[in-house]
Structure 1
Amino acid sequence: MSDFGKSLEISASGMRAQSSRLRMVSENLANVDTPGYRRKMSSFEQVFDDSGETALVRKGRTHLDQSELPKIYDPSHVLAGSDGYFEGSNVNLMIEIADAREAQRSYDANLKMFEQARKMSTALLDILRR
């Protein structure tokens, strides 16, 4: 595979990973008020293509945030116990918004690299055709 092809593949793997991350953040945001919901988190891992030369990135295994769920006092809530408390969600809105912004910016950076490699490849083909 050419160097242009490798750079396209690396950028595409970064975009796929950030897209998966953004999907997970949106799930967390959708469940910010769901009682008992635990925040989903994941990391990225490096993988190599078939040739073993090109290091790609992908979203790693998803795990749940094991921090304590907040206790919310609302005796009228369906899930409230005899003491009037129920477990809320451990999703922090500010953290999720920051993660979404970071994922979007990383996606955009990978997209710019993809477009630049494509333009360079097209320009090289134009030069070779002359």
Structure 2
Amino acid sequence: MQFSSNLSIQDIVSFGLKHEKARVEAASYNMAIANVALPNKKANSVLHVKTNLSFLNDIQNSIHIESIPNANTKSVYEPSHPLADKMGMVFYPEVNTATEMATLVSASRAYDANIRIFNTIKDMTTKAYEIGK
């Protein structure tokens, strides 16, 4: 992978922080709506974080949280539910909570790692300035 010459380590760490924050937000949202009934089978709103492959050339605009088109739904027989269809089925987004929890844990750890990298860079820069005095 070739890095753009105008990017600094701080830019890359900043991208990492933004990306992991977006992953946490998407996974949290998906878990929050896991048991929320959908108005119809096609109204799924599960989120996914998408990163452009050329993210190093455009760090500011490379992370997008988007709805997954045609995501799967699960149907549950609940004829008394206000959103039940003619067959008595209510549709819910198909969210794998174990996968979402794993995403939350890994994104949280990666976010912490990026913070440690940033702090290390800051400390190294401070030491370099002290040596240069």
The answer for unaligned runs of 5 or more in structure 1 is 50-54
Deviation for aligned residue 1:31: 0.9
Match of 2:102 among 98, 102, 109: 98
- Among 3, 14, 17, the alignment partner of 1:15 is 17
User: How far 1:44 moved relative to its partner?
Assistant: 1.9
| 1:84-123 to 2 correspondences below 5 Å | 84-123=88-127
Superposition CA RMSD, Å = 2.3
The equivalent residue for 1:35 is: 37
Alignment of 1:72-87 (within 5 A): 72-87=76-91
Identify the range of structure 1 (5-14 vs 16-25) with the bigger mean alpha-carbon deviation.
5-14
Question: Which residue is 2:41 aligned to?
Answer: none
Aligned equivalents of 2:97, 2:17: Cα separation in 1: 24
Partner of 2:74: 70
Deviation at 1:99, TM superposition (A): 1.0
8 Å CA contact retained: 1:17, 1:57: no
Under a length normalisation based on structure 1, what TM-score does the superposition of the two structures give? 0.80
Once the two structures are TM-superposed, the CA of residue 38 in structure 1 deviates from its matched residue by 3.1
* Offset of residue 95 of structure 1: 1.3
- Shift, 1:61, TM fit: 5.4
What CA distance in whole angstroms lies between the structure 1 residues aligned with 2:65 and 2:35? 24
- Equivalent AA in structure 1 for residue 63 of structure 2: K
Deviation at 1:107, TM superposition (A): 0.8
Which segments of 5 or more consecutive residues in structure 2 lack a partner in the other structure?
A: 39-43
Structure 2: how far apart are the matches of 1:117 and 1:95? Answer: 33
CA drift of 1:48 comes to 1.6
1:47 aligned residue: 56
Contact kept, 8 Å, 1:17 with 1:58, in 2: the verdict is no
